[in-house]
Structure 1
Amino acid sequence: MTEPQTAPGAGQPDAGPAQRAPETPGAALRAAPPTARPPAPRAAPASAPGRRAFVRRSAGAAAGFALAGSAGVLASAPGALACQRSGRAPGDGNGGGGPEEAAGYGPLAADPEGVLALPSGFAYRVVTRAGRTTLDTGEPTPGKHDGTGTFTGPDGGLLLVVNHELKGPRADWENPVPLTDGLVYDPAAAGGCTVVADYGDRAAEWVGLAGTSTNCSGGTTPWGTWLTCEENSDRAGENGMTRDHGYVFEVDPHDRAANLSPRPLRALGRFDHEAVVVDPVRGHLYLTEDDSEPNGLFYRWVPPSGFRHGRGALRALPDDAGSLQAFRCFDDRGRLVDDLSRATRPGTVFGVDWAEVPDREARELPLREQFGEGRVTRARKLEGMWWGDEGCYVVSSYARDESPGPSHDGQVWFYDPRRRTLTLKVLLGVNPEPLAAGRADGPDNITVSPYGGLILAEDGAGHQHLYGATGDGTTYPLARNEVDIGRPGRPEYGEFAGVTFSPDGATLYASIQAPGILLAITGPWRR
């Protein structure tokens, strides 16, 4: 099928939010069944009032770190991780200004165990660690923790599904995901997911999916499952693989039997997937692609008429069910935007239309190469996503020479499906000193906090942080990775990944991908 070649409204300029017709509602969702509450938290959080809508903000573009605020996002000084409204950059426990200037929960205190620096009053637990903790079968926890979903579990516990971003043959990895009978897609592949039952004082872990490749991010569903994404599209016969890869799989943390005989969700396309979210009103699924040459795309899957979401429903669909589409952005004069790097000011709003993907199985060409120049909008490293504020937050980690617009060290966009608009909420200027105190770059995984604002997991070139923002547009550091995996004189820190709150908001889970540590963070949370 040939994709559309004109702007929304038959080539007319985008009408803007107030004049756009809402999307046609799609499939209804079945409500997830109620489950038991998790154990009482160590530090009870304040109540979490409803999130405020984003307001358009900007901090001077010359600052090199320009951000917009809402449920409370960010505005900051040059390269700074935290700031006063004056633009002064306070310290994060690693140099900088004094604590009286600090935003958020205060400066970060160094960890005597050398794992995680946190503000005063906060604490962490190591839930699993690659090669050290063990599964219920006695095998070691797999490595390269990544995207993670949390669910209320039985007996007062929490269930987590944890991706393991292991690429290529199993022999390449010390701790691949074990090939558990009945749960294997491709016995040659090293990746997959584990399910962790966390009870606070103890944890259990087992395999949810094995034999997949490069399980990067994914997303939770309203019906209580996890969609895990392969960020690798090797064909059978490539890199030792025996089956095609590049798919999304569904993992049910509550029902081991539901995960038997893994089946890729081919209707969602075969490409280097990063993350997926579900629109709980319309039933659409949104998917990001982390790729280059050419840059990746942002996709939408529209379910077939009459389809109802629920446990196992996606697995039962035909491979060509529904419609897979790539997005096309237009400026206020109706001109197609070729790449999101063109946006240079927070608050920039684009109109959005969608183009049908001709061959979602990528039999001849990768999906992103099936569109010629001037047909779709691209972006470098489209990564984490999270549904919140009745729309979808989308991360582009950076842009360099491969992108036609100015270089940057991260963007966060908000897609509003009702208005069909994409708004730039966060823009990080290029960070010239990645190892300097308080510097931030390369946002990756993202979550909307129940206390307002966003929490971003850093995957940059220097120190790695979890950072967030207050509702008035002030950014703050929440945690810093102190596990140095580099050589003497050349420090190196693994990325943060899998950032997500427990269903009751008491615990923030996040992983340090290398050496592979799943952490539970508790403290005096407040809005």
Structure 2
Amino acid sequence: MSKMSRRQFVSLVSAAAAGTALSPLGLLHSRRALAAPGCSPASFLVPGFGALVEKIPVNSLELGDLINMPLLRLPQGFSYSAISIKGSQMNDGTLVPEKHDGMGCFQGRAGSYVLVRNHECSIGSSLKCVAPNGQNYDDFGGLGGGGTSTLIVDRQGRVVQDYVSLGGTIRNCAGGETPWGSWISCEENMTTPDTDGRATRKHGYNFEVPSMLGEAVEPVPLVAMGRMNHEAIAVDPQTGFVYETEDRGDSAFYRFVPHKRPNGFGDLQQGGDLYAMVIEPDQASDCNGDLLPLNNLSNGSQVDTRGYGGGAAGSMLPFLGQELKVRWVRLDDVDPAGDTLRHEAQFKGAALFYRGEGAWTHQNSIYFVASNAGDEGEGRSGATTRATRRSGWWSSPPTKTCSTAPTTLPSRATAPSICARTAAAVSRARHATASISSASMPAAACSSSPTTTWIPASSAAPASRPTASSCSSTARARASPMPSGATTAARSICEW
């Protein structure tokens, strides 16, 4: 395969953002079409953005003790400003909490942007999320814990207001945006008063945070969405279904079907039904005829997608790019006393994933990451495409694109200069929120859309992984009559 220059990469990203070309990331993961004859699942190499170097923030002189201190490592041509530092005072009188994690970006008023940011704090963290209005889910005997903070940022990237928007939770890792302008913050924790006497309530839930409330929300656990070691969610805007990942070594992939089609804050509190995804066994690889690898956990039989690196009996690489038939099984005990939700799912045949993490919506698919899956144990991205019996149509999935950073990823980048993150930022930006920009790389906005399918991936790592997580428009899905008995399809896009 011919090499692609950085200029070509930038040009294609720009064109893809305008819907006129397939982005290089799309090409990277359309490996099936580019594989050598014989259906080789091998990856190919891309030049990436170049070596990472330590960089000082553009606004370094404003940062007090952090003057002239590099906070991020970025490729040449990229710059950033640090806009929110742990320990700084916020407008509500509290201090910026530590352990910054998943974050959503929303359009605000008068050209501003609203960032709702998770804090993966445990009980008693030194800089925790404590709601000054008293709206804490659990006060932990005054010790405080995790939650979210909200920042309103003007067009120049300056914070004009910030405050605690969710308090009293534990280890809010990732989450996801909703089409109606709220953030779902996910607890990656299963603490109960029985397991930790500092807690007064059960944990392991999702919480909804409005983007424009102006103060801490009354915290209502979305119990019907399941009690588990949550990671992220992604909402299908056409159906209102919410897809959920779970950060365990033997996790399941979930779909929440609300009783009321959600259209605003609070609708998810009215409950719904929770399902787990089953990949139908006995499907053979189009590449070499291999059958899907199976496991027998929780007295059930299930497809094991974790790869050799995750202890599976077989590899998913022969299934790269191949649609796999799936179905969904309803779960009964969605609020178990212990960490057993996935065990019920596995007993009913739900597929195994190795540490489900970031999830996001793009065109006709829900994408998610399994951070330690794959034959090398370095992570895999997957996607699900929607099939609905009500409409009588089946939407074929568009060309898949995925970020090459196996970390928590944003579901949309509506304000790239403010919201874009890089894989390099993860290690040192846990306590600072930065805006990242590049004079040479136009911002590609992510468009979010519907979906429901799953995907595995390829193994060889790129020579230089792109560091900016980006998404862009690719091919439009074609609609065709839905096949008789069709449910949902799944396929694998990339494996590191």
**What TM-score range do you get, normalising by the shorter chain?**
0.5 to 0.7
Is 1:382 paired with 2:382? no
| Cα distance, 1:179–1:505 mapped onto 2, change above 3 Å | closer
Is 1:284 paired with 2:241? yes
- TM-score normalised to the size of structure 1? 0.63
Q: Check conservation: 1:415, 1:422, Cα contact below 8 A.
A: no
Task: Specify the code of the residue in structure 2 equivalent to 1:354.
Answer: W
Counterpart position of 2:85: 129
1:233 aligns with one of 184, 190, 206 = 190
**SS of the counterpart of 2:164?**
strand
**SS of the counterpart of 1:368?**
helix
1:454 aligns with one of 399, 402, 405 = 402
Is 1:116 paired with 2:90? no
Counterpart position of 1:312: 266
1:190, 1:184 → 2: CA distance? Answer: 10
1:66, 1:166 → 2: CA distance? Answer: 40
Alpha-carbon deviation of 1:387?
A: 0.4
Counterpart position of 1:517: 432
| Cα distance, 1:114–1:387 mapped onto 2, change above 3 Å | same
2:341 aligns with one of 347, 358, 367 = 367
Counterpart position of 1:216: 173
User: Per-residue displacement from partner, 1:362-387 (whole Å, max 9, x unpaired)?
Assistant: 13662012245572111111000110
Q: Check conservation: 1:182, 1:260, Cα contact below 8 A.
A: no
1:193, 1:275 → 2: CA distance? Answer: 14
User: Per-residue displacement from partner, 1:134-170 (whole Å, max 9, x unpaired)?
Assistant: 2113432111111100011123321100000112x22
Q: Check conservation: 2:204, 2:230, Cα contact below 8 A.
A: yes
Task: Specify the code of the residue in structure 2 equivalent to 1:525.
Answer: M
Alpha-carbon deviation of 1:338?
A: 2.2
Alpha-carbon deviation of 1:408?
A: 2.5
User: Per-residue displacement from partner, 1:15-54 (whole Å, max 9, x unpaired)?
Assistant: xxxxxxxxxxxxxxxxxxxxxxxxxxxxxx9562227477
Counterpart position of 2:452: none
Alpha-carbon deviation of 1:56?
A: 4.0
Alpha-carbon deviation of 1:525?
A: 2.4
1:174, 1:365 → 2: CA distance? Answer: 27
| Cα distance, 1:260–1:500 mapped onto 2, change above 3 Å | closer
Alpha-carbon deviation of 1:519?
A: 1.2
1:254 aligns with one of 204, 208, 212 = 212
Q: Check conservation: 2:176, 2:183, Cα contact below 8 A.
A: yes
Counterpart position of 2:491: none
Q: Check conservation: 1:176, 1:190, Cα contact below 8 A.
A: yes
1:371, 1:385 → 2: CA distance? Answer: 20
Task: Specify the code of the residue in structure 2 equivalent to 1:509.
Answer: A
Task: Specify the code of the residue in structure 1 equivalent to 2:384.
Answer: Y
Counterpart position of 1:9: none
2:174, 2:361 → 1: CA distance? Answer: 14
Alignment of 1:335-354 (within 5 A): 337-341=302-306, 342-345=315-318, 346-354=320-328
Q: Per residue, is there more helix in 1 or in 2?
A: 2
Q: Check conservation: 1:143, 1:164, Cα contact below 8 A.
A: yes
Residues paired across the two proteins, number: 368
Counterpart position of 1:25: none
Q: Check conservation: 2:329, 2:348, Cα contact below 8 A.
A: no
Counterpart position of 1:326: 276
Q: Check conservation: 1:512, 1:518, Cα contact below 8 A.
A: no
**Higher RCO by CA contacts (8 Å cutoff, separation 6 or greater):** 1
Alignment of 1:67-216 (within 5 A): 75-77=43-45, 83=46, 102-103=47-48, 105-111=49-55, 113-131=69-87, 133-167=88-122, 169-170=123-124, 173-188=125-140, 189-199=144-154, 200-203=156-159, 204-216=161-173
Counterpart position of 2:385: 416
Q: Check conservation: 1:381, 1:396, Cα contact below 8 A.
A: yes
1:324, 1:110 → 2: CA distance? Answer: 45
Gaps of 5+ in 2: 1-12, 57-68, 285-290, 295-301, 307-314, 389-393, 445-496
**SS of the counterpart of 2:420?**
strand
Gaps of 5+ in 1: 1-44, 68-74, 78-82, 84-101, 400-404, 426-451, 460-496
2:381, 2:338 → 1: CA distance? Answer: 32
Counterpart position of 1:303: 258
Counterpart position of 2:5: none
**SS of the counterpart of 2:248?**
coil
| Cα distance, 1:372–1:224 mapped onto 2, change above 3 Å | closer
CA RMSD of aligned residues (A): 3.2
- TM-score normalised to the size of structure 2? 0.67
Counterpart position of 1:477: none
Q: Check conservation: 1:349, 1:421, Cα contact below 8 A.
A: no
Counterpart position of 1:395: 369
Q: Check conservation: 2:129, 2:147, Cα contact below 8 A.
A: yes
Alpha-carbon deviation of 1:120?
A: 3.4
2:212, 2:233 → 1: CA distance? Answer: 20
Q: Check conservation: 1:498, 1:509, Cα contact below 8 A.
A: no
Q: Check conservation: 1:456, 1:499, Cα contact below 8 A.
A: no
Alpha-carbon deviation of 1:311?
A: 2.1
Q: Check conservation: 2:366, 2:385, Cα contact below 8 A.
A: yes
Q: Check conservation: 2:139, 2:200, Cα contact below 8 A.
A: yes
1:139, 1:504 → 2: CA distance? Answer: 26
1:286, 1:372 → 2: CA distance? Answer: 17
Task: Specify the code of the residue in structure 1 equivalent to 2:225.
Answer: L
1:498, 1:395 → 2: CA distance? Answer: 9
1:519, 1:118 → 2: CA distance? Answer: 12
